[in-house]
Structure 1
């Protein structure tokens, strides 16, 4: 006779007591999803990992700091035996059997009365997979199903997305650095408005019905360009389309994203914002430059270089930046690097301050130029470094050596 298969069921644990015996790494992995379900989680353990202790300190759960005792399952609806001691786990399972409380034994699943599936989440869809005691296979199947949902290969929506606009930060360029939610919304788009800094490879995943608007090709000046983009978003949404505005980096880090949000709000168009991985920090990281490092930098300042120092439009206090000892990350600054270097040198930054210029960061053509504040502008001209590039100024540049340049 074949072994009985578990019966999959969704437990509604909101407001109900769940007992977790053990405070180690297994408990640490299981607890967050229990908390998300709204369960009243109580941990019984003489010791706990720092993460479990932090959850208790924050009031997310109750931690009873002692060993398990018979009777601890009174009023519990669900139990997890997660200790490293098989004898204790067996005691918990025995009490659960007597009390008719379903119990998961983390060390020996077949001796419990419940089994934890490999669980994944996509939007409001929970995916649970059991493969008869083969956890690696369960995890592999779970990952494949969730990936198919995220990419749009499997469409879990019976109806098209409601009309509106999603402002999606695409990250620094590598398509794998877009957020899960960003990729999910992109898969549901009717219209995608993008530009040259948005991850180009993501457009290949779109269905043939999706209209792609390249905002970089709109034949107007910079200011008018933004007005036209705003009008496009509103017009398509009012026509009943779900519009994704795909931007490079994070929409709010010198991306003019909030201007687009305001335009939608003023027009009465529903809009949601999906933050992205900002190139200001991600690009240096990939190039082996930590924008902060213990004992080296206690501050990091991100500055837009779209206008030069002394320009009436400039809102930057360059003399104040020169007096700082930490890290300066300069975006859109390649063409005016000589002016930025000059003002920093004039107001106190040392000429030998390390500088890293990372062009096409995270992309296959990434280039990393290392220099000093006194020589960087000349090196950039000599080696014909072109935008987009992120410039990092400060001692952190010297910390990583050549890490990340290969």
Structure 2
């Protein structure tokens, strides 16, 4: 038998009798998958672990509280032999062979008629790995191969696009703050399966280089005071490509709903009857400060943090931010898109009661290789931005947390 590899097959056990001998740790690990398969499970064992007993109490398995006896495998389709009695295991194995029941033995795989593969799951796919090397089975290697394949499917590094079950539509994917490793697992998988990607400038650009050659990438970069793709044009592009039956990913920086205009795109798609999936992303408002060593909250220092947009100045009639109220808060203030307005913002905060000595940090290109941190105070930040040539994108943090050192005390 060792000279020939096993023949892989998927057993459909729904409603079919499965016998498990032994109620120990092996049964505890294997029973959940058999339950999920819908098998009619009969456990034969005088004792069982608390977890296995709970399965019996829940009615998921039928527990016969006794040792194995001749005839227990009658009418079974599949058997798992995992008792601590070698003689019982041998006798049950012989019965399985006589009745042509596929049988797994935990104590002696070479004498079994079936092996349990290392299995994992990802989006409706079951990955099952068996060692076929006649020189010896290596369970750790098998498990490692299983983990590598499943992880690759989950994070999109192993591209396995759907062909029969794919549906046209749009996914609004939050790409995170910039580091390609900080996109969510689901976002990366959808990106790997896309036909068209409409990408923002602040999305994780490095991921675009990993896309297959057939994927169409559309640059929707909205560079401040430079060329931009109007929001209406973006909406139309999403709708047009989805109506062509393509899988479209709208790759956005941070989170789609944190100053990302994701809801506008969702409404446009809904009006056009296009199905849309929203995949949250890690917002730069908390991740970028964290990457620069700044916690937005800290015990005894800040019990709150507020995120605001600084893309319009406090004295601009379009501003919806209540700056006077923000000046009275004692927590952390995080300002996005406010580099060129930070001087006027700081003046407004100070004018309404915020101390001019309040620490300020500007973190440019956060989480990327180009990240840099520039420190100032509300009194000096306007001059510092100019002197240090701070450019967007940058996250601005205002509050005492900025002055915290690695040991949690004020630096």
TM-score normalised according to structure 1 size: 0.73
Task: Name the structure 2 match of 1:253.
Answer: 258
Please, which runs of 5 or more residues in structure 2 have no aligned partner? 40-47, 59-63, 69-77, 97-102
Contact 1:152 1:188 in 2 (8 A): no
Q: Hey, what's the Cα distance between the residues in 2 that align with 1:397 and 1:38?
A: 55
CA spacing shift, 1:281–1:217, aligned 2, 3 Å: closer
Task: Name the structure 2 match of 1:53.
Answer: none
Contact 1:109 1:115 in 2 (8 A): no
Task: Name the structure 1 match of 2:99.
Answer: none
Contact 1:288 1:402 in 2 (8 A): no
Task: Name the structure 1 match of 2:149.
Answer: 145
Q: Hey, what's the Cα distance between the residues in 1 that align with 2:10 and 2:407?
A: 51
Q: Hey, what's the Cα distance between the residues in 1 that align with 2:65 and 2:3?
A: 31
Contact 1:160 1:188 in 2 (8 A): no
Q: Hey, what's the Cα distance between the residues in 1 that align with 2:142 and 2:390?
A: 48
Equivalences for 1:112-261 in 2 at 5 Å?
Answer: 117-131=117-131, 134-149=138-153, 150-151=155-156, 153-159=158-164, 161-216=166-221, 225-261=230-266
**Is 1:337 matched up with 2:342?**
yes
Equivalences for 1:4-403 in 2 at 5 Å?
Answer: 90=84, 117-131=117-131, 134-149=138-153, 150-151=155-156, 153-159=158-164, 161-216=166-221, 225-401=230-406
Please, which runs of 5 or more residues in structure 1 have no aligned partner? 49-55, 64-68, 81-88
The count of aligned residue pairs is 379
Structure with bigger gyration radius: 2
CA shift for structure 1 position 152: 6.5
CA shift for structure 1 position 303: 1.0
CA spacing shift, 1:162–1:61, aligned 2, 3 Å: farther
Contact 2:171 2:278 in 1 (8 A): yes
Q: Hey, what's the Cα distance between the residues in 2 that align with 1:293 and 1:357?
A: 19
CA shift for structure 1 position 30: 9.4
Q: Please state whether the residue corresponding to 1:336 is helix, strand or coil.
A: helix
Task: Name the structure 1 match of 2:44.
Answer: none
Task: Name the structure 1 match of 2:42.
Answer: none
Q: Please state whether the residue corresponding to 2:230 is helix, strand or coil.
A: helix
Q: Please state whether the residue corresponding to 2:313 is helix, strand or coil.
A: coil
CA shift for structure 1 position 62: 8.2
TM-score normalised according to structure 2 size: 0.72
Question: Over aligned residue pairs, what C-alpha RMSD do you find?
Answer: 4.9
CA spacing shift, 1:155–1:392, aligned 2, 3 Å: same
Q: Hey, what's the Cα distance between the residues in 2 that align with 1:300 and 1:109?
A: 59
CA shift for structure 1 position 120: 3.4
Q: Hey, what's the Cα distance between the residues in 1 that align with 2:12 and 2:354?
A: 60
